[in-house]
Structure formats: C-alpha cells, structure tokens
Structure 1
Amino acid sequence: MDVGCCDFGFYQEGVATLPIRVLVVDDSALIRQVLSDILKQDPDITVIGTAVDGEDALQKIAIQKPDVITLDLEMPKMNGLDCLAKIMEQSPIPVIMVSYLTTRGAEYTLKGLEMGAVDFVTKPIAEEPDIVSLDNISLDLIQKIKIAAEVHLAKITDLPKRQAVTKPQLPQSPKEKYDLLAIGASTGGPKALYYLLTQFPEDFPLGIIIAQHMPKGFTDFFAKRLNTYCKLEVTEAKTGDEIKPGRILIAPAGYQTKLRRAGDLLVAEVSEEPKLILKPSVNYLFESIAETCASRTLAVLLTGMGVDGGLGMQHLHKLGAQTIAQDEASCVVYGMPRAAVELGGVDFIEGLSEIYNRIASLLYERSDSSGT
C-alpha cells in the first residue's frame, strides 16, 4: 500500500461487479439534478430514480431496492431524519446524508450519524464557492457512495448503547508517563467517538485531542454535541488552547492543527497551512505530536476510509509511543487502522468496546490482556 502519496486512498477492495444503484432523495429539483449529474459521471454508479420527500422515498425504496440512498434532511411531508428512522427500522440501506451548512442542518446531520447514516456531504452553494462547490463535493460524494455500498450496516446500527461512565474505575495515581491522548477518525468516527468518549470519567488524567474528518464548519457543532454527552469538556480547538486534563479538543475542519510547546505548556496551533487534501489531517497532527511528545503519547486510530494517520502513527510507534488501532470487525470502514497496522505502527488492535479498557490498562500499567 502506498500511503505516502496522498491522504485519501481510493475505493479498490470489494468493488461491485455491477453498478451501485442509487436513489437520490431531495425536495429541490435543482439539487436532484445536480446530484444525479455528479453520480452519472462514474461508470460504477447508476441513478435508478429520485424522490421528492421522505414518503416518496419509502415507497420507491420498497419497489426499486437501491444499494445506497442520498438523503436530504429538510423536506416537506416527511423530513430526512424521520425517513432515516423508517429506513433503519424497516429495511436498513446505507444512507449518505446531504445537508446545508447551517446550524439546524449541522444538528440534523450529526443526529443522523447517530441514527445510522454512513456519512454525509454538504450541498453545493454557488454563492459561497470557498465553502462548498461542485468540484469540492463531486469526488467526495462518489467516494462515499462507493464506500457506503460496501459497509455492513450492523457495525453502525448495532453499536452498543452509550453507557454511563462507571467502568473501569481508574486508580488514584496513574503513572505520569504520558502527556496526552491523540485520536484520529474518519468514516464511522462520529458514532464511534460518541460511544468511546462517554466512558471517560471526569478525572481522566490526560488531555485529549481529536482529528475527525468533516467538512468545514461542522466540527464546532460536533464538539458542542459531544459536550452534552461527555463528562469532560469538549470544544473546538483554537490556537493557544492548552492540552490539559478535563478537556477534549476537536481539530477544526477546514484547517490544520498541530501541537507545540509553550514553556511548560502543550498547546494547539490552528492554521490554513499546509495545503493538504484532508483538513484536518490526522497525519499532520500525529507528526507534530511525534515532534513534541514522542514516547509520552497515547494514540488511537479509529474507523475511517483511506490511509490518513497511518504514517503518523508509524512514526509515533517508532519513537516509543503506545498506539492502538480499532479492529476490522468493529470498524465501519477498515481503512485508516489497516494502513497503520500494515506499516507496523500499532501496538494493540482492539474492538471499539475494548479501546477504553486498553487505554486505562496502559495508564496504570495493568497487564491483564494481550496486544497484537
């Protein structure tokens, strides 16, 4: 696997022998046409029909049986979230949500990810080309449709229910050998993070920083939503924010985030540079952590398409950091963790339900379970 040339990685494994059959659902005739035209550019995808609202979509799903659905969230009669709930209840099919970048749109999108949608893209906004344009979303949409067609929905819909922070109980005196916990994620990451982070107690002894792939403008809403679930404070990172116990920083989408030393403090630095494909780049964050913290790092790579984070985790591993990758069985997309594993950069491979236990065991030097 060539992980050095780009951050994405592309759809290769499990390519369907027949075109992926897609139903486009949106109340706007213009958006239906735009999305259909984008998808028709790819010979591996065929648009089998369109629907104007949730009720229309459910009827056509029953008859046409698409492989993947693109779903608008704000529609008359039956909105996207109500439609998504019915789809997951009656005939689970991979769903890619299509959302405007608004407060309500972001809230609906994040709720949809919790309900079982595979991923989302933002709608093209012609008057704001720097935010969302056809060029920006075309590759993204096609890539996500292809990934969604291969996803086992049970890995999303059957995720264990969010648990109260009751176990494992942390001893009073952790070994002071780590400066922080760093986490990278992409497709499937939001729901995995909801599950994982709610297990952290309010006295967790490390600061946490997370790079989750998302379109620009969504990570602030994501951080606020996580903050309502977690015992720790969750906020979108800004330049100068300190990595400290009791706080989780989310790297802002559309920018790059690195860590640097400021005297005795470890702080975030957010910038538009470098101009990498993925913003935030997990590799870029991890490489900065390798420079500043080296072996005093706990790093986790969760579900996600592509290879981002693989090289950064390999570097951390070589420096003596402790590294954990989510296992294939629990990943929505086993791309990023696979890259790190194949590069030899992973100390422990764990199911999502066991990652917090592994982190706790490393913090307190328990030896009750085996690694890779």
Structure 2
Amino acid sequence: MKQISVLVVDDSAFMRKLIKEFLSEDPRINVLDTARNGQEAIDKIKKLEPDVVTMDVEMPVLNGIEAVKIIMKQHPVPIIMLSSTTKAGAENTILAMEAGAIDFIAKPSGAISLDLHKVKTALIEKVITSFKAKLKPVITARIPYINSTEQRIEKNEKTNLTKLVLIGTSTGGPRALQEVISNLPANIDAPIIVVQHMPPGFTQSLANRLDSLSEVKVKEAEQNESIKKGTVYIAPGGFHVRLQEKLGQAFLTIDKEPPVGGHRPAVNALFESAAKLKNYHKVAVIMTGMGSDGTLGIIELKKAGQTTVIAEAEESCIVYGMPKAAVLTKKVDEVVHLGSIARAIQNNL
C-alpha cells in the first residue's frame, strides 16, 4: 500500500507541529505540508493533491467550513475536521460535515496531557479510513418497494403492533441522517431512536441541526424519557441508549456502562435492548460506517421476530463497513440506496 499523503491545516503553529508529529509516527502516512488557513489550504491542495486533509474549523482569512465548501466543489478530497468541544465548535463541525467533510475529531486543548495518546490513535485511524472512503455518495432513484403476497399478509398482521424505528450509523452518518430524517413525515407512525458514533459534546448540535431541517422533531435522548411517534431521539455522545418497557409504555434509559465492541454509544446496545420488547414491530436500519457495530443486535432482533432490517447499499455509503457486516448475517430484508431509505422505512411500518 502506498503512503497516504496528508495536508495539515491549522492556524496554530503548535497544533500544526503536534498533528504532523502524530501522523508521521505511522509509516503508512506521509505529511506533505501544512497550511495556516483555508485559503492557503485551497492553494496547496491544487498544487500538492494530497490524499487526505485535516482541517481546523476556526481560522483567519477563510474558515474551515467555507474552505470545505470550496474544496468539495473545486478539488474534492477526504477532509477530517479538528474541532473544539465548545458549543460553537460542535455546531460548526456539524455544518462542515454537511458541507462535505468525511469525519471529525475533538481537538486536544491546553498543555500536553494523557488524552493526547487517545487523540493520536483516533486521528491515525480516521486518516486511514478517510483515504478509503467515497467522497460523493451516488444517490440513485429506486423503484418503490413492492411487497409480495406473503409480505402483504405480514404487513396486515403487524398493523396492530406498536412500531419502532431503530437507526445505527458511524463514519459519514451525519450527512446520511440528514438525508433520511429530513424526508420523514411529521405524522410517521413510530418513534425513531438513533445511535450515531460521536464523542460527548457533539450530538446535541447534531440533533439541533437535524431538527431545524426536518418535519419530525429531533432531540437528544434523555434518561427515563417516554418515546412518542414523530420524534427522533439521538443517543448522547459517550452514553449508551437502551429501550425498556413498563406498563405497556416504552421508554429510554441512558447509561455509561462499558463500551460495547469498542463503542459508547453502541448500536448493538440499542438493538439488543429492543429485541426484548415483545409487542412491537421494529424497523432496524444500518447505514454508512466503519466496523460491524449493530450486527449482533440484528441477529438478536431477528431471533425475537417482528423485525424488518434495512441496510444502506454499498453504492451510497461513504464507508461500507457496518452495512456490509449486516448483509453478511443474511438477516437483512432490504438493501436500499440512501436516497430511498426514508421511503423504505415508511413502507415497512
């Protein structure tokens, strides 16, 4: 495998040096150069043609969000945002990903600390993943799903059941979620619970942004919250979200139990909890993301019955990891392009 060439963009000389040192420790990565602002980044991308760019959000001359917009139009390249965990930083990160950035990482702040090793490992992993990612998912029209006679009977049988929609996603998820959730009607006949792999401090901004773009209500999930139709609940960064039932009413629990498969929140934690709810028809959706989170949960859901599983098609995934692992279980009912997932969800309720 050839070395992955990287351009590091940050207005802080300390951060440029730090990120360059982090990445250079991995023999698979070659840091070509650094840039101090968005305009300098645009000029150097044209000249150097790096494989991956790490991009600060707040910079003079041209900030990260505007730079991403221009780069994705003029010279598309995988971009990883480095963001502060402040409210403004989180909001700007969501906007940068909406503009085309592949992924992000929370920026280390202050003096050298023990957390920097974690950041280094995550940054190297994200650079390697982004190098393999698809930049512009191809969203193609799909013929509306038509049930067979057997499936029509099943649909009639499940109309009396209470319904749940469960969505799991990771790398590329914020843009994929925007495509799906903004196309769901306000009167959808189910609550929607989402696990997006994200660290603390960013999921509230994601929920706010999706809420502003959608007919359904979108919010960050809260402890012991009863779930309602037409509302999307996003697992808070750093917390598992699980479903429980009491007196016929489903509600959410939030916890900081150990990571499941290396993730917290974990799709498996949500799916496995939903599998224990008996009087519900579930539609489980796995979208773009690295790894295999959600696969074990799908197996449990299908074992419990009354579940339809939808996986995002490879053609529209930024990273075809989680959907591929789901498909390999042979438990997936439909493989659907991103642009048709909202319709597929409604067809199966």
Alpha-carbon offset, residue 230 of structure 1: 1.2
Partner of 1:138: 120
Which residue pairs with 2:151 in the alignment? none
**In the alignment, structure 1 residue 296 sits paired with structure 2 residue 278:** no
Question: Residues 27 and 72 of structure 1 are in contact (CA less than 8 Å); yes or no, is this contact kept in structure 2?
Answer: yes
The aligned counterpart of 1:112 is 96
SS in 1 for 2:76: coil
Q: Which position in structure 2 is the counterpart of 1:87?
A: 71
- Looking at structure 2, the residues matched to 270 and 264 of structure 1 have their Cα atoms a distance apart, in angstroms, of 19
Instruction: Tell me, yes or no, if the aligned pair for 1:184 and 1:301 is still in contact at 8 Å.
Output: yes
How many angstroms does 1:359 deviate by? 1.9
Q: Is this contact kept in 2: 1:310–1:345, CA < 8 A?
A: no
Determine the C-alpha separation between the residues in 2 that align with 1:119 and 1:293. Answer: 37
> How far did residue 126 of structure 1 move?
4.4
Which whole-Å CA distance do the structure 1 matches of 2:279 and 2:328 have between them?
Answer: 21
Q: 2:9 touches 2:41 (CA, 8 Å); kept in 1?
A: yes
- The answer on whether the counterparts of 1:301 and 1:336 sit within 8 Å (CA) in structure 2 is yes
Give the corresponding residue for 2:269.
284
Specify the alignment match of 1:357 in structure 2.
343
Identity within the alignment, %:
40
What does residue 153 of structure 2 align with? none
Cα pair 2:276 2:304 within 8 Å, conserved: no
Structure 1 or 2: more helix by fraction:
2
Give the match's secondary structure for 2:276: helix
Aligned counterpart in structure 2 of residue 55 of structure 1, from 1, 14, 39 = 39
Query: What stretches of structure 2 of length at least 5 have no aligned partner?
Result: 146-155
Residue of structure 1 in register with 2:297 after alignment: 312
Residue of structure 1 aligned with 2:84, choices 79, 100, 108: 100
Q: 1:231, CA displacement in angstroms?
A: 1.1
Q: 1:105 to 1:159 in 2, by over 3 A?
A: farther
Specify which of 54, 57, 63 is matched with residue 73 of structure 1.
Answer: 57
Q: 2:169 aligns with which of 185, 194, 218?
A: 185
Is the 8 Å Cα contact of residues 163 and 189 (structure 2) preserved in structure 1?
no
CA–CA separation in structure 2 for the residues paired with 1:178 and 1:355: 21
1:178 touches 1:298 (CA, 8 Å); kept in 2?
no
Equivalent residue for 2:187? 203
Residue 220 (structure 1) shift:
0.8
Q: Deviations over 1:18-67 (max 9, x none)?
A: 10000000000111111111111211111111111112112211221100
Deviation at 1:344, TM superposition (A): 1.9
Q: Secondary structure of 1:346's match?
A: coil
The 5-angstrom pairing of residues 166-245 of structure 1 reads 175-245=159-229
Task: Give the alignment of 1:248-259 within 5 angstroms.
Answer: 248-259=232-243
Do 2:259 and 2:266's aligned partners in 1 also have CA atoms closer than 8 Å? no
What are the Cα deviations for residues 300-322 of structure 1, in whole angstroms up to 9, with x where unaligned? 00111111111111221222211
The 2-side partners of 1:353 and 1:86 are apart by 24
Counterpart residue number, 1:342: 328
State the shift of 1:202 in Å. Answer: 1.1
How many angstroms does 1:247 deviate by?
Answer: 1.1
Query: Aligned pair in 2 of structure 1 residues 100, 348: CA closer, same or farther (>3 Å)?
Result: same
Report the CA distance between 1:257 and its aligned residue.
1.1
Shift of 1:259: 0.9
Residues 282-306 of structure 1: CA deviation (Å, up to 9, x unaligned): 0111111111248621100011111
Equivalent pair of 1:294/1:316 in contact (CA under 8 Å): no
1:269/1:259 Cα in 2 relative to 1: closer, same or farther (>3 Å)? same
Range moving further from structure 2, 194-203 or 352-361: 352-361
Separation in structure 1 between the aligned mates of residue 280 and residue 229 of structure 2, nearest angstrom:
18
Give the root-mean-square deviation of aligned CA atoms: 2.2
Q: Distance in 1 between matches of 2:113 and 2:264?
A: 17
Q: Give, as a single letter, the amino acid of the residue that structure 2 aligns with 1:215.
A: P
| Separation in structure 1 between the aligned mates of residue 76 and residue 252 of structure 2, nearest angstrom | 40
Residue 8 of structure 1 corresponds to which residue in structure 2? none
What amino acid maps onto 2:135 in structure 1? L
* In structure 1, C-alpha distance between the alignment counterparts of 2:127 and 2:279, rounded to whole Å: 37
The alignment partner of 1:296 has SS state of strand
1:351 CA displacement: 0.8
How many angstroms does 1:226 deviate by?
Answer: 0.8
- SS of 1:261's partner is strand
Q: Deviations over 1:70-105 (max 9, x none)?
A: 000100111111211111121111101111011111
Equivalent position of 1:6 in the other structure: none
CA distance in 1, matches of 2:182, 2:15: 37
Structure 2 length-normalised TM:
0.91
| Aligned residue number for residue 133 of structure 2 | 151
Task: For 1:65, give the aligned amino acid.
Answer: E
**Aligned partners of 1:290 and 1:316 also within 8 Å:** yes
Post-superposition, which runs of at least 4 consecutive aligned residues in structure 1 deviate over 2 A?
125-130, 176-179, 274-277, 292-296
Please give the residue correspondences for 1:25-44 in structure 2 after superposition, counting only pairs within 5 Å.
25-44=9-28
Residue 46 of structure 1 is aligned with which of 27, 30, 37?
A: 30
Q: Counterpart of 1:322?
A: 308
Secondary structure, aligned partner of 2:44: helix
Please give the alpha-carbon distance, in whole angstroms, between the structure 2 residues aligned to 1:101 and 1:150: 27
CA distance in 1, matches of 2:117, 2:250: 37
d(CA) in 2 for partners of 1:359, 1:59: 43
